[in-house]
Amino acid sequence: MSFWHKKRVVVTGGAGFLGSVVVSRLEAKGCKKIFVPRSKEYDLLDRGAIKSLLNKTKPDIIIHLAASVGGIGANRDNPGKFFYDNLIMGVELMEQSRILNVPKFVALGTICAYPKFTKVPFKEDDLWEGYPEETNAPYGLAKKMLLVQAQSYREQYGFNAIYLLPVNLYGPGDNFSPKSSHVIPALIKKCIDAIDKKESVVEVWGTGRASREFLYVDDAAEGIIIAAEKYNKPDPVNIGAGFEITIKELAEKIVELTGFKGKITWDRSKPDGQPRRCLDTQRAVKEFGFKAKTTFEEGLKKTIEWYRLNKHAR
């Protein structure tokens, strides 16, 4: 019988980009009792709402994916909101879960928690070697406090909380809003919109020299679910694809795959963000056998196709 068959699971953020894929995969694995709290009914910034949620659902596992998040621009414009929302949601949810003896809590961190200048590839043991990149430090530090909380609760209360560090995600259903999107959906939208409008230039923030690693959303969902099944230790675990690409190379690849024939220009007055990002993924392989399966080009093609089919509905 499936591990998930009789489990009661709460997935915060389960209607979002990553969460909807996690929920679909849980259903495919035989999970019959999945509860996705919606913000209108359960405000995760409110302790009373969290208590009500947990008393109603009595979960065996909480997968905490809900977050206030965005790209460099959104982080720069909302440092206080991103810090407060992400810290309070996670801290209160984990505290009330501990009080009500929830058997397992899966906390999602972020690659933004790593120091600005971290040896590449990033190893989990390097998390405390310095301060995060300034534009997303409030978000990254708020999320990193959930690791401290998880480890201290395990030590004092025997609370089974695990902490996963996913790299930047992308895929069908991503956020394509110009105000808050990350780099892949932003570039796809710019190129396809330029094609539609017969424009000859697409502008991109920064110098193009910064590097990033990207994980296809289906692979991320699979890694989270496998960890929820099999991992029960205090050490944080990277969830990534294990490769690195510069923003310039990324822009050129998206230009190629979308068929945009114009020119890319770089707005060097805008920030690059963290200089390099690439995760060491060996702990996930060793501890619970997770390895990303989707090639980057395959994932980009699927994401571009999804946007072409859905752009007018957004």
pLDDT digit string, tens, across residues 107-139: 999 999 999 999 999 999 999 999 999 988 999
Distances (CA, A) of 123 to 1, 126, 283: 35, 5, 9
Task: Specify the pTM.
Answer: 0.93
pLDDT digit string, tens, across residues 42-76: 999 999 999 999 999 999 999 999 998 877 788 88
How do the residues of the chain divide into helix, strand and coil, expressed in percent and rounded to 5?
45, 15, 40
**Residues 122/112, Cβ–Cβ less than 8 Å:** no
Q: Among the residues of 178-246, which ranges form H helices?
A: 183-197, 217-230
For residue 187, give both structure tokens.
Answer: 């570039």
Average pLDDT for residues 164-170, to the nearest whole number? 95
Banded pLDDT at 272 (limits 50, 70, 90): confident
Q: 238: burial class by Cβ within 10 Å (0-12, 13-18, 19+)?
A: buried
Measured at the CA of 133, the angle between CA 76 and CA 161, to 5 degrees, comes to 100
Q: In the prediction, which pLDDT does 314 show?
A: 58
**Residues 49/38, Cβ–Cβ less than 8 Å:** no
Query: What's the CA gap between 110 and 77, in Å, rounded?
Result: 19
Annotated catalytic sites, by residue? 139
Element counts in the chain: helices (H) and strands (E)? 10, 12
In sequence order, the 6+-apart residues with CB closer than 8 A to the CB of 73 are 179, 180, 205
Architecture of the domain delimited by 8-170+216-240+278-293: 3-Layer(aba) Sandwich (3.40)
Question: Amino acid letter at 101?
Answer: N
Residue with tokens 């110098």: 207
**Cβ-count burial 194-229 (b if 16+ within 10 Å, e if not):** bbeeeeeebebbbebebbbbbbbbbbbbbbbbbbbb
Going from N- to C-terminal start, the domains of the chain cover: 8-170+216-240+278-293
pLDDT digit string, tens, across residues 273-310: 888 889 999 999 999 999 999 999 999 999 999 999 99
